[in-house]
């Protein structure tokens, strides 16, 4: 199995590049942000619980997010692995993911981290907000908080994969196709 963590701050291009990786490598796409937005839209209990965190640009508690992922890993029909997009976002999530994948005998192959500086992230997110209507992409304060939360709580997850020699840094500036070529060059070696 090819199990990839696609990592990076909000607006780094994880969703866009995930779609292309899914197609090229026949992977299942697991985006915790997408799952949470679907729960919110369907007004489930989980969605209602997650709403206040998402609107403020804070992280949804680990136990909620980890609970969501577990079941999804059982469905491996027709795919050659998974791409984890926007997950893990804390070291506790990364530890739990390792434990779940170890149980199934399909460890993470590598973490690909898209590097983009803050000014560019803010620009991209505001533009995405205009197109998608995502509330958390339309408020500058929320955007800045998401980037701050990323730096404080999520960036340390890189160290978790560095320690396992599974970390790959990718320049996230350029055209979508150029960035995809950089990602694919790493994935092809995994």
Give the number of other CB atoms < 10 A from CB of residue 166: 17
Q: How far is CA 59 from CA 14, 53, 90, 121, 146, in A?
A: 17, 6, 9, 18, 8
Query: Does the active-site annotation cover 134?
Result: yes
Q: Which of residues 61-80 bind ligand AMP (CB under 6 A)?
A: 65
Binding segment toward ligand AMP, per CB under 6 A, in 28-36, 72-80, 123-131, 160-168: 28-36
Residue 108 contacts residue 87 (beta carbons within 8 Å): no
Give, to the nearest 10 degrees, the angle between helix 62-72 and helix 32-41.
100
Whether the CB-CB separation of 128 and 33 falls below 8 Å is answered with no
Report 8-27 residues binding ligand AMP (CB under 6 A).
10
The smaller minimum CB distance to ligand AMP, of residues 77 and 144, is found at: 144
Residue with CB nearest ligand AMP?
33
Among 3, 9, 12, 89, binds ligand AMP (CB under 6 A): 89
Contact range with ligand AMP by CB under 6 A, out of 18-26, 84-92, 110-118, 162-170 = 84-92
- DSSP secondary structure letters along 37-69: HHHHHTT-HHHHHHHHHHHHTPPPPHHHHHHHH
DSSP 8-state assignment for residue 99? H
Residue in 20, 37, 51, 134 annotated catalytic:
134
Asked if 129 interacts with ligand AMP (CB under 6 A), we say: no
Segment interacting with ligand AMP, rule: CB under 6 A, options 40-48, 58-66, 120-128, 164-172? 58-66
> Which parts of this chain interact with ligand AMP (CB under 6 A)?
10, 32-33, 36, 53-54, 57-60, 65, 86-87, 89, 93, 136, 146
Active site residues: 14, 89, 128, 134, 146
């Amino acid at each position: 199995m090819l199990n990839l963590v696609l990592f990076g701050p909000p607006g780094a291009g994880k969703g866009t590049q995930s779609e292309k990786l899914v197609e090229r490598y026949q992977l299942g796409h697991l985006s915790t942000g997408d799952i949470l937005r679907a729960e919110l839209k369907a007004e489930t209990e989980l969605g209602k619980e997650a709403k206040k965190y998402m609107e403020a640009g804070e992280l949804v508690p680990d136990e909620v997010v980890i609970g969501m992922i577990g079941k999804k890993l059982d469905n491996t029909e027709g795919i050659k692995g998974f791409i984890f997009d926007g997950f893990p976002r804390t070291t506790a999530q990364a530890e739990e993911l390792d434990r779940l994948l170890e149980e199934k005998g399909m460890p993470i192959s590598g973490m690909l981290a898209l590097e983009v500086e803050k000014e560019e992230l803010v620009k991209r997110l505001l533009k995405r907000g205009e197109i998608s209507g995502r509330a958390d992409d339309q408020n500058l304060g929320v955007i800045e908080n998401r980037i701050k939360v990323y730096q404080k709580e999520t960036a340390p997850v890189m160290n978790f994969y560095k320690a396992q020699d599974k970390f790959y840094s990718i320049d996230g500036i350029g055209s979508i196709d150029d960035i995809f070529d950089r990602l694919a060059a790493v994935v092809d070696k995994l």
